[in-house]
Amino acid sequence: MTDIERLKDMDYDEFETSINDIWKAVIKKVDVMITNSKDKSPHVSVDGIYDNMRLDWWTSGFWPGILWILYDMSKDEVYRQIAWDYDKRIEKCFIEKSNLHHDVGFQFLPTSVIKYKLTGDLDGKRRGYEAANFLAGRFNIAGRFLRAWNQDKIGWSIIDSSMNISLLFWAAEEFNDPRFKHIANAHADTVLKHFIREDGSVCHIVSFNPESGDFIESLGGQGYGPDSAWSRGQAWALYGMANVYKYTGETKYLRAAQKVANYFLAALGDDYIPYWDFRAEKLDGEPKDTSAASCAASGMLEIAKHLTPEEGRLYKEKAKKILFQLTREYSTFDRINYEGILLQGTGNRPAGRNVNVSLIYGDYFYVESIAKLLGWEKSIF
């Protein structure tokens, strides 16, 4: 039996001792993707071929982010060389017609910021600062929220920004400029007040009056409906609030992360991989979302870091069970030429787009999670 066959046939008891073999499989998969997708900006893989999305698309940082993790873990110059210019290429979108918006954290944290952290590159530092200024400029003072997208819905904010505000916290620390921290804290408090429900479920979009800042309503967005629980939104929230705690030390954010994680875990089925929305009208026959699973797993590992070993054990063990299932049942390690690591990702189910595909952000958080289990401690979210 080959190493790959063994990974696809392992029991959970073998998962812990197989992490190094899983990492080797990740490297082999990424090397295949380098051959085929070296300079691409991947987003979706259909039938094993990643597309080449425009650089202003919100996912453009995740492929170079995978490469930077592999470089830091291996010190193999190939990964550094391929990842090096992505932040420079994305930066051009600031001066050209583009659709950059609230997700610049997803684009510049795993490119310019990690490049600066790992290599000391001052252009990376500058570009991270530029992106933080751009994100800060989207702050609505009256409503204390970061505006979503660039459409005419100027009072909309979304749960995804819980992850992007790490860019603001980084800039506040790196440049000793507390205005970034104040904006990030204000948005995080708005998430606590208007996005995370009492039971730990999360809504995707909240609409505010952009003039007064008053709450108007919750909207379904990429979830099933206004009162549903879009599983990737749950993942953004639990990971994002854990990160806010990491930067601020304020317990309310850690408890919020735990509350959202507890809902996520309670809603999982026996295979530990969530449906795209935990409150879809009927779950039977609905698609899963492995990207929500991998992001949640990485977020739970972050939560566990900030708790006592006894309290954190729940989140770490559940994260490992999610990663075990992703590896055994949803990975493509046995498909040599397939671009993409995880199958059955769901992008936007209500719009009927990118359902049952590989998604580069699902791949990123899977790689990040496995690296964390191997001791990697330089996550930039």
Which tens digit of pLDDT belongs to each residue from 301-347? Answer: 999 999 999 999 999 999 999 999 999 999 999 998 999 999 999 99
Q: Which CATH class is domain 3-373?
A: mainly alpha
Residue 3 predicted with pLDDT over 90: no
Q: Tell me if 203 sits within 8 A of 222, measured CB to CB.
A: no
On the 0-12 / 13-18 / 19+ scale of CB atoms within 10 A, 356 is middle
Q: At what angle do helices 251-267 and 290-305 cross, to 10 degrees?
A: 140
Residue 1 predicted with pLDDT over 80: no
Bridge partners for 219 per DSSP:
205
> What is the CB-side half-sphere exposure of residue 262 using CA atoms within 13 A?
13
pLDDT over 90, % of the chain: 94
On the 0-12 / 13-18 / 19+ scale of CB atoms within 10 A, 9 is exposed
Confidence category of residue 4, pLDDT binned at 50, 70, 90: confident
DSSP strand pairing (345-348 vs 215-219): unpaired
pLDDT tens digit sequence for 335-379: 989 999 999 999 999 999 999 999 999 999 999 999 999 999 999
What is the predicted pLDDT for the residue at 184? 98
From the CB of residue 233, how many other CB atoms can be counted at a distance below 10 Å?
27
What is the predicted pLDDT for the residue at 29? 96
CA–CA separation, 168 vs 178, rounded Å?
9
What is the predicted pLDDT for the residue at 367? 98
**Mean pLDDT (whole number) for 82-90:** 98
